[in-house]
Amino acid sequence: MIQPHWRLEQLETFITEEQIQQRVAELGAQISEDYRGKDLLLVAILKGSVVFLADLMRHITIPHSVDFMATSSYGAATRSAGIVRILKDLDIPILDRNVLIVEDIVDTGHTLNYLRRMLLSREPASLRVVTLLDKRARREVDVPLDYVGFEVPNAFVIGYGLDYAEFYRNLPYIAIPKEGFFDEPPEE
């Protein structure tokens, strides 16, 4: 059995649940205003964005639909070369639709840069991006961000969709690991 890594006492809260909920409500209100009377399609990038998407869409008060994409990099070297693998493509065409990409975090920018170019080639009516977190200090390629929740420093952040070894996505807040968090467990 896979042993879950679960060290909540070695985490420092960086953005509280209240701060996130307030900001997500603001983003939802702004998006509702900007897309009023338009056909809106949210495209969420799995898996990190699911928690943000679930909250954000409940604050979007205009009719909209949702679709998903999944990506994976081939590894650090190829990612920095801008090569992204599509594990799951959209289910529906986006021609003439107003597409809003939903991301949890933009780091180097390579994933988003690749996705934007790919989706633009399908000729949507418009293409914008909302990201909960912007780790601007790490950017390697310039990508336009239309809606940003919070800027974060160049630190490892987890929670609210973001994982460490696939765990911690369910935390309702964003945290930064303290010393010892990544240590190997002591021998039994």
User: By CB under 6 A, what part of segment 27-46 binds ligand PRP?
Assistant: 45-46
Return the residue of 20, 24, 99, 103 that touches ligand PRP, per CB under 6 A. 103
**Cα(116)–Cα(110) distance, integer angstroms:** 10
Q: Name the E strands within the chain.
A: 11-15, 40-46, 64-73, 84-88, 98-106, 126-134, 147-151, 174-177
**Cα(92)–Cα(89) distance, integer angstroms:** 9
CA dist 163 → 105, 157, 168 (Å): 11, 8, 5
- Catalytic-residue membership of 107: yes
Q: What is the DSSP letter of 159?
A: B
Tell me the window of 8-16, 92-100, 103-111, 173-181 that interacts with ligand PRP (CB under 6 A).
Answer: 103-111
Residue 136 CB, nearest approach to ligand PRP (Å): 11
Please work out the total of residues on this chain that contact ligand PRP, with binding judged by CB under 6 A: 15
Q: Is the peptide bond before 178 cis (omega within 30 degrees of 0)?
A: no
**With binding defined as CB under 6 A, does residue 110 bind ligand PRP?**
yes
Evaluate whether 133 touches 157 at the Cβ level (below 8 Å).
yes
Sort residue 18 into left (φ over 0), alpha (ψ -120 to 50) or beta: alpha
Residue 83 CB, nearest approach to ligand PRP (Å): 11
Return the residue of 24, 27, 100, 105 that touches ligand PRP, per CB under 6 A. 105
Return the SS3 of 43: strand
**Cα(112)–Cα(142) distance, integer angstroms:** 10
Q: Which one of 107, 134, 142, 146 is the catalytic residue? A: 107
Residue 37 CB, nearest approach to ligand PRP (Å): 30
Return the residue of 109, 124, 149, 159 that touches ligand PRP, per CB under 6 A. 109
User: By CB under 6 A, what part of segment 43-62 binds ligand PRP?
Assistant: 45-48
User: By CB under 6 A, what part of segment 113-142 binds ligand PRP?
Assistant: none
Tell me the window of 1-9, 106-114, 144-152, 175-183 that interacts with ligand PRP (CB under 6 A).
Answer: 106-114
Residues forming the active site: 107
Residues that bind ligand PRP (CB under 6 A): 45-48, 103-112, 163
